[in-house]
């Protein structure tokens, strides 16, 4: 594999960082017909990826990895220099986690990766940032990369944010909703456009813009989705007080093309590795820039979302007569959403751990996230099936909306529990069918301003 010398041919691509974003981007880019080399500092991860194995659950990704490592179109290495020497376009796909003790993003990984590429260049190259960063980062990295490149080698940097949804990441890469390319005037982005030639030919919108706009697109999209979720949860509280049905209300709202039905499911709220950290980082950056109203809005979105976890705990306490001490609680769901095994900032595990700290005997089942959850929270109990999780339970909690839970047979489960009480925190059950099978189905308790119990987010500390 060597860099392309034909300015009209598809370039050779390097992908720096082979975590969730990088591994998916590398495999999907190979599927688009390009030669790709992925880079990671972890030799064990590189060896696993070369065998088509990934340390997380993402439908379709292992098959893509195996197909293109076998053809030779995709390979992996631990050497940045080796990868950079072989490629023309260099995607930076490393993480930008939340800083310890701050809501700001930790940019140390993306800065180190950008500088490593720039210093390793043997010929002109284009660095493409895909990581989610605070606005203003790209311009600074562009300056650093140009200063770090060897004499006689030209390098430029553009920003091309990712919009992957866990559980649908392969599809989102192969057939994206849009492609955003942010650059400074005079930057030659043609090599990157050749990378995306197939999806653009298939009709994917291509949006050209400046660097700050490209940086803001991803975090703004996540902030809007988070706001939509917190909005419907705030309205759900009004519905509860007025005796209205928030699910029917959401359906009615969703028929308005300006609003849409997605992300209007009231319940436990959002989690995961993106939305929480992204809205906090955007609020922090907005505050730095003096955009106080945006910062205040996002803080309220975050607070409403976190309060939903306490509402679930309050509901369980009410169902159990005020205390869960020595009560058996069956928890269905550990991942922050279905079709993934990601338990980062998972509302489901947050609630499960908080109930455990209150003396409950908690047994968790998730179709994919059981192993990852057990590694992070080994003090919780885990079942190998829905039946094992609910056996002998005084109350059952549905905390992740897997189809397996939504379509479970309530009559069969009724025979397994000690008490037929279910808290549907995701509004995914057929309530009439469950009630007909003898269950008491509970929504969320009314929100309270100053909970007597510790907040769920404060109670959750991995063992």
Catalytic residue positions?
274
**Torsion angle, alpha carbons of 255, 162, 21, 150, to 10:** 180
108: which residues sit within 8 A by CB, 6+ positions away?
none
Nearest to 50 by CA among 41, 58, 62: 62
Cα gap 187→79, rounded to integer Å: 27
Which residue blocks in 368-415 are alpha helix, DSSP H? 370-376, 386-390, 403-406, 410-414
Residue 163 near residue 22, CB atoms below 8 Å: no
Secondary structure class of 124 (helix, strand, coil): coil
Residue 25: its H or E element: helix 20-31
Cα gap 88→10, rounded to integer Å: 10
Residue 269 near residue 303, CB atoms below 8 Å: no
Residue 158 near residue 189, CB atoms below 8 Å: yes
CA–CA distance from 124 to each of 119, 146, 457 (Å)? Answer: 12, 11, 48
Nearest to 94 by CA among 21, 166, 29, 30: 21
Q: How far is CA 375 from its chain centroid?
A: 19
Residue 340 near residue 166, CB atoms below 8 Å: yes
**From edge to edge, which strands make up the β-sheet containing 125-129?**
74-77, 36-39, 13-16, 89-92, 125-129, 155-159, 179-182, 206-209
Nearest to 176 by CA among 24, 19, 12: 24
């Amino acid at each position: 594999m060597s860099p392309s010398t034909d300015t009209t041919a598809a370039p050779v691509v390097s992908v720096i960082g082979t975590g969730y974003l990088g591994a998916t981007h590398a495999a999907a880019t190979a599927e688009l017909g390009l030669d790709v080399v992925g880079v990671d500092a972890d030799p064990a991860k590189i060896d696993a990826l070369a065998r088509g194995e990934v340390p997380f659950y993402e439908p379709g990704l292992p098959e893509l990895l195996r197909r293109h490592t076998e053809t030779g179109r995709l390979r992996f290495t631990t050497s940045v220099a080796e990868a950079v020497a072989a490629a023309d376009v260099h995607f930076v796909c490393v993480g930008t986690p939340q800083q310890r003790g701050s809501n700001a993003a930790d940019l140390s990984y993306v800065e180190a990766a950008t500088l490593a590429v720039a210093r390793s260049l043997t010929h002109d190259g284009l660095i493409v940032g895909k990581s989610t960063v605070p606005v203003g980062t790209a311009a600074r990295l562009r300056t650093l990369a140009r200063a770090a490149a060897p004499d006689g080698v030209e390098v430029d940097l553009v920003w091309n944010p990712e919009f992957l949804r866990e559980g649908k990441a392969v599809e989102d890469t192969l057939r994206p909703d849009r492609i955003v390319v942010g650059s400074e005037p005079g930057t030659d982005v043609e090599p990157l456009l050749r990378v995306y030639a197939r999806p653009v030919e298939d009709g994917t919108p291509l949006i050209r813009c400046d660097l700050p706009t490209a940086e803001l697109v991803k975090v703004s999209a996540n902030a809007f989705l988070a706001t939509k979720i917190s909005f419907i949860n705030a309205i759900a509280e009004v519905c509860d007080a007025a005796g209205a049905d928030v699910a029917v209300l959401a359906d009615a709202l969703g028929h308005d093309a300006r609003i849409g039905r997605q992300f209007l499911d009231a319940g436990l709220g959002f989690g995961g590795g993106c939305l929480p950290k992204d809205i906090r980082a955007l609020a922090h950056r907005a505050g730095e820039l003096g955009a106080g109203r945006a910062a205040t809005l996002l803080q309220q979105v975050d607070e409403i979302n976190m309060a939903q976890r306490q509402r679930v705990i309050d509901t369980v306490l009410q169902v159990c007569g005020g205390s869960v001490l020595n009560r058996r609680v069956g928890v269905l769901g550990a991942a922050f959403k279905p079709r993934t095994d990601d338990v980062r900032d998972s509302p489901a595990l947050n609630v499960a751990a908080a109930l455990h700290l209150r003396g409950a005997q908690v047994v968790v089942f998730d179709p994919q996230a059981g192993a990852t959850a057990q590694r992070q929270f080994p003090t919780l109990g885990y079942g190998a099936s829905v039946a094992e999780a609910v056996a002998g339970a005084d109350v059952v909690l549905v905390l992740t909306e897997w189809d397996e839970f939504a379509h479970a047979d309530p009559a069969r489960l009724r025979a397994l529990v000690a008490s037929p009480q279910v808290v549907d925190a995701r509004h995914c059950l057929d309530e009439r069918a469950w009630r007909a099978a003898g269950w008491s189905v509970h929504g969320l308790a009314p929100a309270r301003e100053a909970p007597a119990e510790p907040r769920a987010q404060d109670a959750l500390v991995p063992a």
